[in-house]
Structures are given as structure tokens and as C-alpha cells.
Structure 1
Amino acid sequence: MNTAIIYESKHHGNTKKLVDAIARTHEVTLIDALTDGARDLSGYDLIGFASGVYGGKFGKGVLKYAQNHLPADKPVFLLYTCGSPRGSYTAAIGEIVRKKGSRVIGEYGCPGFDTFGPFKLVGGIAKGHPNAAETDGAAAFFDALPVRKQEPRE
């Protein structure tokens, strides 16, 4: 299954750790929403969007990439890291996916080291995250996606 993961990982590389964990064992195309140019996503069977959480939602780069480049009728999965997990932060990206005629088939979120705003004054929150168990959890989540039939790399 031909898979692309569009990600935004600005501050501490938290989200990049999740997508790298998947890429270590699976053949996926990683697309940095902030630095890679626009790509035609129509040839991918499965598309992931991954981001840190900024103001309660995915980063602007990922949201814009989804809005401008997500084709219709694609299965989509979501990955995110956040300083303080208090529920899901996928409403905005989920709405874009639905409006584009695609569907979210799963989401995975975990804590990520956060030093934004007032958290910087106390040295940050969620120190040490994502940890190995959480990055392994992202890879296990990917393996369990209902439409994924791709064999792991050897």
C-alpha cells in the first residue's frame, strides 16, 4: 500500500519521532508540510497527517496542505503530539478531510515535550515525551490500520 505522511514538527521534533518510528519499519513517503513543495497525493492509497498541537489544533502548515492537496475518497489517519493530552485535537483537520470527501480511519495522539508560552517559565511540560513506548505505539497504531496491507521492511 503506497502511503504518504504529511507532517509538521517545529519545536522539539516530537511529531517527527512518531513518523520516523513508522518509517523505520515501513515503506512510506514523508512530506514536511513546511519545507517540501506541493505533491500530487492522488497516487497514494493511504495518507497520514501528523502534527504537534498548536492552540488546540494541528499546525497551520498541515491544515493548509490538507486543504490544498488532499484528493477525494482517500483513507486518512492522524497522528499528533501535545503538551497536555486532554482529549482529541483533530476536529479542524477532521473537518477538512470530510469536506474533501475523504475519511479518517484512525488517530493516535501522545504527549510531547512542550515549552510554548508560560510552559517555558517552568522548564516545559511532558518532559521526555514522546518516549520509546509512545513511538512504538505509533508504529503499532499504523500496523493496525484497517486498510493497511503493506508488508514491513526486512
Structure 2
Amino acid sequence: MKVLIIYSSIHHGNTKKIARTMATSINADIIETKNLKINTLDEYDLIGFGSGIYNAKFHKNILNLIDKLPKLKNKKVFIFSTSGFGRTKYNVPIEKELRKHNLEIIGSFTCKGYDTFGLWKLFGGIAKGRPNNKDFQNAKDFAERLISS
């Protein structure tokens, strides 16, 4: 199975760390959203979309990419995110958008990540030290379950 992980990681590299962990554990290709050549997506059987969360939303780079997705047949996808709170509800809007493109969502992952966005900066941020080793192990386990199913 050929896997691609696409991510946007802007402030602290939290999402990039999780994306790398997943990619390494399942031998996936990995690329930052801004470097993706959209016509290469057909080469992959499974595609992951990941982002940090900004004002309860995925980064605009991922949102714009999903808007521009070409017709992809028989593609499975998964979603992952990092945020100060690590809430799974942040992944739901992206799931809905991907379903509009008739993509099969086979998993969703989230974990906490150090966050100094907006008002959190005034307090020194939240979720310091995250993602941590447990988060990395959970990301690895999640990715391995995706390709074994």
C-alpha cells in the first residue's frame, strides 16, 4: 500500500512531529501542503491530511487543498491534528469536506500540542511539552492500525 501524509505545521512544529512519526512507522511519503503537486495524489492508495488547529479550524493551507482536490477514485483517507486541547471535534469539519469528495475516511487522530496562539501567548501557552512520548506512540499505533485493516 502506498501512503502519503500531507500536513501543515506552522508555529511549533507539533503537527510535523506527529506526521513524521506516522510516516516513519508505516514507510509513508510525507510532504508539507505548500510543496504538494496535486496531480500526484492518484499514485497513492491512502492519503493523510494533518494540521495544527487555529481558532478551532484546520490551517487554511489544508482547507484550500481540500477545496481543490481533483476527482480521486477508490481513495482512502485519514485525518490528524494537534491542538492545545487535543479535541477530536476539530477533525469533524474536515471529515465532512472530504466526504463531499467521495473519499472513504478510515481514521481520525488528535493529540495535544504546545499552543501559544492568540490569548494563550499571554499565559505562556498551554499543553507545554506536548506532543510527548505517549502522543508519539499513540500516533505510531494509529498509523500502523490504518495499514493493517
Q: TM-score, normalised by structure 2?
A: 0.91
How many angstroms apart in 1 are the aligned matches of 2:21 and 2:52?
A: 16
User: 1:123 corresponds to which residue?
Assistant: 124
User: 1:108 corresponds to which residue?
Assistant: 109
**Number of residue pairs matched by the alignment:** 148
RMSD (Å), alpha carbons: 1.7
Closer, same or farther: CA 39–139 of 1 in aligned 2, 3 Å: farther
How many angstroms apart in 2 are the aligned matches of 1:107 and 1:23?
A: 15
How many angstroms apart in 1 are the aligned matches of 2:118 and 2:43?
A: 40
Structure 2: unaligned runs, 5 residues or longer: none
**Do 1:80 and 1:110's aligned partners in 2 also have CA atoms closer than 8 Å?**
yes
User: 1:10 corresponds to which residue?
Assistant: 10
SS in 1 for 2:41: coil
How many angstroms apart in 1 are the aligned matches of 2:84 and 2:4?
A: 25
Give the CA deviation at 1:149: 4.5
**Do 1:40 and 1:69's aligned partners in 2 also have CA atoms closer than 8 Å?**
no
Give the CA deviation at 1:86: 3.9
> How is 1:76-87 mapped onto 2 (pairs within 5 angstroms)?
76-87=77-88
More helix by share: 2
> How is 1:35-114 mapped onto 2 (pairs within 5 angstroms)?
35-69=35-69, 71-114=72-115
How many angstroms apart in 2 are the aligned matches of 1:92 and 1:63?
A: 10
How many angstroms apart in 1 are the aligned matches of 2:6 and 2:113?
A: 18
Q: TM-score, normalised by structure 1?
A: 0.88
Identity of aligned residues (%): 40
Structure 1: unaligned runs, 5 residues or longer: none
Per-residue Cα deviation, 1:64-109 (whole angstroms, up to 9, x for no partner): 1122135243111111101113442112211221110112111110
Closer, same or farther: CA 72–91 of 1 in aligned 2, 3 Å: farther
Q: Which moved more, 1:112-121 or 1:70-79?
A: 70-79
**Do 2:87 and 2:111's aligned partners in 1 also have CA atoms closer than 8 Å?**
no
